[in-house]
Amino acid sequence: MEELRTHRNILCIDLKSFYASVECALRGLDPFETKLVVADESRGGGSIVLSVSPALKALGVPNVCRIFEIPKEIDNIVYARPRMQTYLEFSAKVIEVYLSFVSEEDLYVYSVDECFLDVTSYLSYYKMTDYELAQAVLKKITEELGLYATVGIGPNMLISKLALDIESKKANDFIAKWSYDDLETKLWPIEELSKMWSIGKKTEIKLKSWGIQTIGDIAKRNVNFFKKRMGIIGEELWYHVHGIDLSKIQDKYLFKRDPKSYGNSQVLFKDYFVPEIYTIILEVVLEVVRRLRMTNKVCRTIHFGITYSKDYNSGFSRQITLDNPTNSEKIIYEECRNIFFKYYDGVSPIRVVGLSLSKLSERNYYQYSLFADNELLEKEYKRNLAIDTVVNRYGKNAITRASALEEHSTVIARNKMVGGHNAK
């Protein structure tokens, strides 16, 4: 096992309650004292909470929930309307802080609020230990931006991430350093298997059914036990619980993989019925198919679903596989309508529309159908490419369908958002 161990100095840094902390910083408030919620209160109790301040987390409020799920007995709550563009700007400023310590090749941006830094070659330059350098980075983030962060330190990316998730967020100075020797005492005794990065709830249930009660039980079994049952994923899991991770930050461009599917959903803030719901279905289709065009992909499988309001039955979700791959808005919309006609009960109010396209392939290998108007489909594709060119340059609202002007349409408002939330 020793020959597979790497010995770097990796920092995994996570910004604490990022969105809520940004709102506190802009208001001059202490996030550890202020009970702040990032959510659009004007949308009602069903509005999604994107983040809560550490003060609310300490009271047991989860970071992501709905407004109505926040305990009524908690008073003096400050509500902040989400402004995604502002959060992205703060994220960029944090990255500038990181780049004041390391070069770009030694930085890997994992998400809007989480990054990995390889500081191995900088310790002698700064005349600091990795722990001291982590303290310096956190101090600069707080002094310059008013934000707080936690850090996991380890000999590779995996162990630094485990140190972050399992220990650093509870540490007094928000820093935890792990070595390979710490895994047996700090990782292996954990019974909630999904606390281990890379183990989801479904995998946890599967592992428990095999008699795996702790992370350590995985380490103590033979690797072939998991390889036979889970394939290469099981083998990788066995190595992970031993702390083995050969990935390098400098190889970050190798981490990018072609997506296996494209999806989109709209959470609606009022009840929709026929015929208005057709506009929403069309808008969802147009957005997902646009992603296909942007990556020169076509799909064969269409997965379409509807969720009803919470006082009704849950809804339905069905998928179909086409004879020929496509990226035609017309074909995909018609198939979604067909599923809707077949399974909608005709009366229930609708609150969510979701679509996922999978079994992707390159459009270069497009197979034309003997039963479709291929010339018409090609004209549709070229027309949409021209529209994409305008939209990419001037914004999504530069060209919209006439249906976007209908009162029940959401597309113009959503096009002004980032990630489904207000940009500013």
Q: Which H helix or E strand runs over 352? A: strand 350-358
Instruction: Give the C-alpha distances (Å, rounded to integers) separating 61 from 35, 37, 52, 199.
Output: 10, 10, 8, 24
Q: Which two tokens stand for residue 185?
A: 């005492």
SS3 letters across 201-269: HHHHHHHHHCCCCCHHHHHHCCHHHHHHHHCHHHHHHHHHHCCCCCCCHHHHHHCCCCCCEEEEEEEEE
Which residues is 152 bridged to in the sheet? 12, 176
Q: Which two tokens stand for residue 299?
A: 């799909």
Which residues are known catalytic residues? 114
Q: Which among 17, 248, 11, 16 has a CA at the least distance from the CA of 151? A: 11
Whole-number Å distance between alpha carbons of 53 and 306: 33
Report whether 161 contacts 12 (CB < 8 A).
yes
Q: Which two tokens stand for residue 405?
A: 């002007």
Alpha helices in 127-200 (DSSP H): 130-145, 157-166
